[in-house]
């Protein structure tokens, strides 16, 4: 009698759960296939949009595993397992992890924004967070720069994405503004002709209509008339031109008898005894 009871219960369980298990298996197979198709479509879209490789891998994994977790919960519900508690546990665990990793999540969010919006790319020379350097690597949590002195600077993406960034490389060209001070007694026109002629001799200085080199009196200083020399150059030529113009400009001005004054003060000495007598 007892044996028959167990047989009947087993039969009832098989009859009840077999269709559910078959349905769950079919849902898992079809769902996994659809997830694979969706991931491939997203991957092609990212390839066309030229996403950064690190961001692409992370987003694809995030989409894949998020969908698989959802699919797993659906399969459990199909079999008849209560999923409300399971989902609540996952949500609570996610909240606890989020609170424990607030700083890391801020860096993660900043990394996603940087990789999506692309304010700079690997190889660009930028200034951010008080550091100037060439971008070596952009990861999800931080960005690595190589400074002019060949040091590696690691900047958290959370701070980097929420502060000012100067990208010196993105536009491909830069404008320089050099200041040359000459004496008040010197010939301004002659000094301007010398410096402007020097810049125009440089083949790598841009001469486009809206980027023609120019020079003008920028300021009447305390001890000098300051001439402002402006020109445009490509990034790869910028520093070589700057260094040459500074050195050669000083030499040519001096050769023409034009002084380059330095700050100075006139001190008048009064004889205190004479002051007392006159008083």
133: number of Cβ within 10 Å: 22
Give the span between the Cα atoms of 80 and 60, in whole angstroms: 31
Backbone φ and ψ of 130, nearest 5°? 75, 10
Query: What does the pLDDT average to over 103-120?
Result: 78
pLDDT for 278 equals: 52
Give the span between the Cα atoms of 175 and 248, in whole angstroms: 19
111: number of Cβ within 10 Å: 25
Given a cut of 50, is residue 26 above it in pLDDT? yes
Specify whether the backbone of 75 is left (phi greater than 0), alpha (psi in -120 to 50) or beta. alpha
To the nearest whole percent, how much of the chain has pLDDT over 70?
76
Backbone φ and ψ of 193, nearest 5°? -65, -40
Query: What does the pLDDT average to over 86-113?
Result: 64
pLDDT for 27 equals: 84
Model confidence at 208, pLDDT cuts 50, 70, 90, reads confident
Closest listed residue to residue 90, CA positions, set 105, 69, 76: 69
Given a cut of 90, is residue 12 above it in pLDDT? no
Question: What is the per-residue pLDDT across 226-273, written as a single tens digit (0 to 9) for each?
Answer: 999 999 999 999 999 999 999 999 999 999 998 888 766 656 666 655
Q: Take residue 30 and report the two structure tokens written for it.
A: 């079809």
Residue 279 half-sphere exposure, CB side, CA atoms within 13 Å? Answer: 6
Q: Are 175 and 232 in contact (CB under 8 A)?
A: yes
Which residue has tokens 């690997």?
122
Given a cut of 70, is residue 277 above it in pLDDT? no
Query: What does the pLDDT average to over 45-63?
Result: 73
**CA distances (Å), origin 259, targets 65, 118, 121, 237:** 72, 48, 45, 29
Contacts of 71 (CB under 8 A, 6+ apart): 27, 28, 31, 32, 35
- Identify which has the larger pLDDT, 244 or 20: 244
pTM over the 0.85 mark: no
Model confidence at 101, pLDDT cuts 50, 70, 90, reads very low
Give the span between the Cα atoms of 126 and 132, in whole angstroms: 6
- Identify which has the larger pLDDT, 66 or 86: 66
pLDDT for 94 equals: 60
pLDDT for 213 equals: 93
Closest listed residue to residue 155, CA positions, set 97, 98, 114: 114
């Amino acid at each position: 009698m007892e044996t028959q009871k167990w047989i009947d219960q087993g039969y009832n369980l098989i009859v009840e759960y077999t269709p559910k298990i078959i349905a769950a298996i079919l849902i898992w197979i079809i769902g996994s296939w659809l997830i694979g198709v969706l991931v491939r479509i997203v991957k092609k879209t990212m390839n066309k949009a030229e996403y950064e490789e690190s961001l692409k891998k992370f987003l694809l994994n995030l989409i894949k595993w998020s969908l698989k977790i959802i699919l797993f919960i659906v399969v459990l519900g199909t079999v008849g397992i209560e999923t409300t508690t399971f989902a609540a546990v996952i949500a609570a665990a996610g909240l606890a992890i989020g609170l424990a990793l607030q700083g890391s999540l801020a860096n993660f969010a900043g990394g996603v924004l940087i990789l999506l919006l692309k304010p700079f790319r690997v190889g660009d020379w930028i200034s951010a967070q008080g550091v100037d350097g060439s971008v070596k690597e952009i990861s999800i949590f931080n960005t690595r720069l190589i400074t002019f002195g060949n040091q590696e600077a690691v900047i958290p993406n959370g701070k980097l994405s929420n502060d000012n960034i100067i990208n010196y490389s993105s536009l491909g060209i830069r404008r320089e503004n050099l200041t040359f001070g000459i004496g008040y007694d010197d010939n301004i026109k002659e000094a301007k002709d010398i410096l402007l002629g020097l810049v125009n001799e440089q083949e790598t200085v841009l001469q486009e209509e809206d980027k023609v080199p120019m020079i003008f009196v920028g300021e009447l200083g305390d001890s000098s008339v300051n001439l402002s020399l402006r020109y445009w150059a490509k990034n790869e030529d910028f520093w070589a031109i700057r260094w040459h113009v500074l050195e050669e400009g000083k030499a040519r001005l001096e050769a023409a008898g034009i002084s380059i004054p330095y700050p100075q003060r006139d001190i008048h000495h009064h004889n205190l005894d004479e002051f007392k007598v006159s008083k």
